[in-house]
Structure 1
Amino acid sequence: MTPASTPHFSFATLADADRIHTIVEAAYRATGDAAGWTTESQILDGQRTDLDEITSLIDQPAGGLLTARQDGKILGCCQLERRSDHAYFGMFAVDPTLQAQGLGKQLLAEAERVAREDWGLDEIRLTVIAARTDLIAWYRRRGFRPTGVSSPFPYGNERFGLPKVEGLHFDEFSKSL
């Protein structure tokens, strides 16, 4: 992506599942020179997700995986789900080679627009591993505030990764749209 370019946004189809899986794993689990600033490799090993979860998210009737594309190639994605009184934003990933160029901000802004304009919602929520202070700071700069709700990390469920540290949990954040 060039800095001046504008991506195209659309919800993923099942044909996109492999590319989305590649981006999500690279964004969350890459190490060394391949890692972007969003990697969780310092606190988690193993996979971030699998193709079953990705295809389930693509097929969900109340939302899906929103993608950012350029020239037809997926550059980033996020889960966007319509819940009763708010939108849920998750599995946010940008190709690590394209991070820190504004694509994440654009993708988040599009998710907020869909929730507000297409779904008529006035709030968006997300959860973040509390140890990810850099990521929390990024969301706070975009207007998200803590709700005070926390939930445990699913220790023992390898589908979500293999913790390297004890005490992981998720904190919930919300933003008025």
Structure 2
Amino acid sequence: MSTPDAPARTVAYRDATGADVPAVVSLVDAAYRGEASRAGWTTEADLLDGQRTDTEAVAEILADPGSRLLLAIGTDGVIVCCCHVRRTDATTAYLGSFAVRPGLQGAGTGGALMREAERRAVAEWRSAQMEMTVIAQRPELIGWYERRGYVRTGETRPFPYGDERFGRPRRDDLVFVVLRKDLATAR
């Protein structure tokens, strides 16, 4: 039995390349949207329809010199999880596009990739804190991040209604909560 933060399978970490874009889009959409996402616990299928990301958005991440798209690759060569880390200012990095293959959620691989993302933000950019946004209507996901040291800041940000690049909302009350983790004390 694996612990919540111990990877259940051996993985290697690397930055994504242009060749990974289709697989990343597929992974992110599978983790959050449609019937396939219901195999895991991170599904947003009851909140949003449509895509979670697209090839243009992932290509933009790769083209941004202040960003990294980190991948965890299983021993079989398949991408098992990913996350986008972006330097937002001199002390803060942003974590987004965090996705774990639905059938592997809960095995610890996601927590391990998150720690790798935090480690890289400190090592590469000397970030003192990591920030993220999560849809407020996802209390179980917010709780997962809180158990890993992220705290609610009290700040909210609007959901981008009308921009189908982020999906088609099934309700009119979606909003993002901002979570932050102090990376200096997390070591």
| TM-score normalised by the chain length of structure 1 | 0.94
Match of 2:83 in 1: 78
1:58: how far off?
A: 1.5
CA distance in structure 1 between the partners assigned to 2:86 and 2:37 by the alignment: 33
Q: Does 1:129 align with 2:135?
A: yes
Give the unaligned 5+ runs of structure 2.
none
Tell me the number of residue pairs that the alignment of Structure 1 and Structure 2 aligns. Answer: 176
Question: Residue 147 of structure 1: which of 128, 153, 174 is its match?
Answer: 153
Match of 1:98 in 2: 104
1:113: how far off?
A: 0.6
CA distance in structure 1 between the partners assigned to 2:166 and 2:21 by the alignment: 17
Q: Does 1:119 align with 2:117?
A: no
| TM-score normalised by the chain length of structure 2 | 0.89
Cα RMSD between the aligned structures?
1.6
1:63: how far off?
A: 1.6
Q: Deviations over 1:45-85 (max 9, x none)?
A: 01111110011112210022111012332111001001212
CA distance in structure 1 between the partners assigned to 2:181 and 2:117 by the alignment: 12
CA distance in structure 2 between the partners assigned to 1:21 and 1:121 by the alignment: 27
Question: Residue 21 of structure 1: which of 21, 25, 28 is its match?
Answer: 25
Q: Letter of the 2:65 partner, please give it.
A: P
1:118: how far off?
A: 2.5
The 4+ residue runs of structure 1 with deviation greater than 6 A are none
CA distance in structure 2 between the partners assigned to 1:151 and 1:4 by the alignment: 35
Match of 2:94 in 1: 88
Does structure 2 retain, via aligned residues, the 8 Å contact 1:82–1:88?
Answer: yes
Q: Does 1:61 align with 2:65?
A: yes
Q: Could you tell me the percent identity over the aligned residues?
A: 45
Q: Deviations over 1:107-153 (max 9, x none)?
A: 10101110112321110000000000010000000010011211111
CA distance in structure 2 between the partners assigned to 1:35 and 1:162 by the alignment: 21
